[in-house]
Structure 1
Amino acid sequence: MGTIGLVFCCLIPWLTQAAASELDKPCREKCGNVSIQYPFGIGKGCYHNSWLEVTCNKTGDGRRERPFLKRLELELLSLSPYSETVLVNNPVIYINCGTNKEDNSNNVISNFTAKLTGSPFSLSSSYNLFGSAGYGNLVTVLNNQIPVSSCLQPGSGNSYCYIKDYFPENLTSFAAKMTQIFPGAKVSNRCSNRCSSAFIFDERMIMYSEIFPYSYWPFLRTLGIETTHVPVTLEWSTPNVTCDLGPGHYSPSNISDVIIIIIIIF
């Protein structure tokens, strides 16, 4: 009769008191109306790396809280860890607006902030469109000084245009160039048609505005030269982040805290 061997494997946590204290530390899961999920987090030990750190700031009146991606200094509107995307409130850039706008005053070419360069974030080509507000100008998008798309503003009526056909992948910065097509017309007492804005925004803002014109996203109804921020989707990628389940979970990153016991019975 042969010998039968049975092997039992057990995983036994072997944590020091300090490590247990760190793992048991609760992480804040919400800021304002936004759920904060790992690998993003608020507070030390609650995020995968510093690019994914979130701060929860109070508004000026102290009545509300708003989450921000700390290193990018962008307001976080929502996040989707499983699709590796975040929706943020992104500043609009202005072109040739004189004293009406503080940034990029009297410039024909204006550069999008390059905060994304060197980060794990890029502007999503799946969700975003390029847009512009103003009257009678051709606004061209430049990537590394190469034109990639353009948007012709209307001469009257709605003050915006947007591009549906093409958006480059892995875009972290861009420049916008304005060319007057219908020069000289006064749009208002404060602003002539030489003043334009350029921005990248999430195309779902248009979908929701057209289907639900009085919904939470009245994007097209409020879009204009005075718009300062627009929602934009960023994609992010961090190597091995799926192997780390967050504080309080075992993963390959803390396998040293586990002892494997093998028992052989004959």
Structure 2
Amino acid sequence: MAVNHLHLLLLQIIILLVWAIKFKASEASCQTSCGKVQINYPFGIGAGCFFNEWFEITCNISSSTPSGQPFLTKMKLKLAEDTAAMSFGIGVEMPAISLKNPSTGINRTGSPFFFTNKHNSFIATGCKKYAKIDITDESGSTTGGCLTISACDPLKGKKEGCYDFICPVPSNTTFDYGIVSKLNSTISQYCKTAFILDQNWVMTNYVNDPTVLRKTEYQKAAPAILEYGTRQCIQNSPPVCN
């Protein structure tokens, strides 16, 4: 089993090297930025500039965005302007999940992308009560706890909900309403919106101002890190990946 895994890993490395060689040959003609976002291989704009269809970037130019607005083409996700270029992933504007509308979210099934606790956090906002929330996986084992933050004056904001939960990102294949019910039923019952957020963004923006996710520009989407490559997984059932 270990030998087969090693062969598969070597094959993946060879494929990446071949693509890297091909990319170097055409790199001079590849667009390296769109708007304020730097585009690095394996992501790319135009034929021959990206690893495969999952890594293709579309640069949409319009009268309102003359310098371009980049999107991860297949996932239909806008790239985040305020995240740095990375060798392990890419910053995207992750749609917020309305906890009153179970149809919202995205599906990563079949893609090479994933979320980990190392680079992202799960946040539920607009919660109507203070509570201790424990994260459990599908086997029922506790994998971590949530930090509760008061984001407004509870005496003035009872109708909206003044509490937020910051939680570890659970192991899963989608980001939709289902993830919330897997975390804890209390979250979906008492909160308004859920996000997966870039931890650096959380530390530099949210921690300094817990009301930031209530601002208009972040109510529909906020920065998160889509990672790719080899995950380090603890072989539980299901695996817990970091």
Check whether TM > 0.5: yes
| Aligned with 1:50 (options 37, 48, 53) | 53
8 A contact 1:91–1:229 mirrored in 2: yes
| Aligned with 1:202 (options 174, 190, 198) | 198
What residue in structure 1 maps to residue 234 of structure 2? none
Identify unmatched segments of 5+ residues in structure 1: 1-18, 97-103, 105-109, 184-193, 214-218, 239-266
Q: Write the distance in 2 (CA, Å) between the matches of 1:180 and 1:69.
A: 30
What is the TM-score with the length of structure 1 in the denominator?
0.57
Q: Deviations over 1:151-197 (max 9, x none)?
A: 76758168342325x3335654452245489x9xxxxxxxxxx6611
Gap change, CA 1:223 and 1:113, over 3 Å in 2: closer
Is residue 159 of structure 1 aligned with residue 162 of structure 2? yes
Identity %: 29
The structure richer in strand per residue is 1
Gap change, CA 1:170 and 1:81, over 3 Å in 2: farther
Letter in 2 for 1:122: F
The structure richer in helix per residue is 2
Is residue 222 of structure 1 aligned with residue 224 of structure 2? no
More RCO (CA 8 Å, sep 6+) = 1
8 A contact 2:92–2:223 mirrored in 1: yes
8 A contact 1:131–1:160 mirrored in 2: no
8 A contact 1:131–1:163 mirrored in 2: yes
Identify unmatched segments of 5+ residues in structure 2: 1-21, 231-242
What residue in structure 2 maps to residue 133 of structure 1? 125
What is the TM-score with the length of structure 2 in the denominator?
0.61
| Aligned with 1:91 (options 95, 103, 109) | 95
- Tell me the C-alpha RMSD between the 2 structures: 3.8
Q: Write the distance in 1 (CA, Å) between the matches of 2:85 and 2:111.
A: 18
Gap change, CA 1:150 and 1:209, over 3 Å in 2: closer
Bigger radius of gyration: 1
Q: Write the distance in 1 (CA, Å) between the matches of 2:104 and 2:147.
A: 16
What residue in structure 2 maps to residue 124 of structure 1? 116
Q: Write the distance in 2 (CA, Å) between the matches of 1:196 and 1:51.
A: 31
Letter in 2 for 1:40: F
Is residue 65 of structure 1 aligned with residue 68 of structure 2? yes
Q: Write the distance in 2 (CA, Å) between the matches of 1:76 and 1:30.
A: 11
Gap change, CA 1:175 and 1:235, over 3 Å in 2: same
Letter in 2 for 1:119: S
What residue in structure 2 maps to residue 247 of structure 1? none
Q: Write the distance in 2 (CA, Å) between the matches of 1:179 and 1:61.
A: 41
8 A contact 2:58–2:73 mirrored in 1: yes
Letter in 1 for 2:170: P
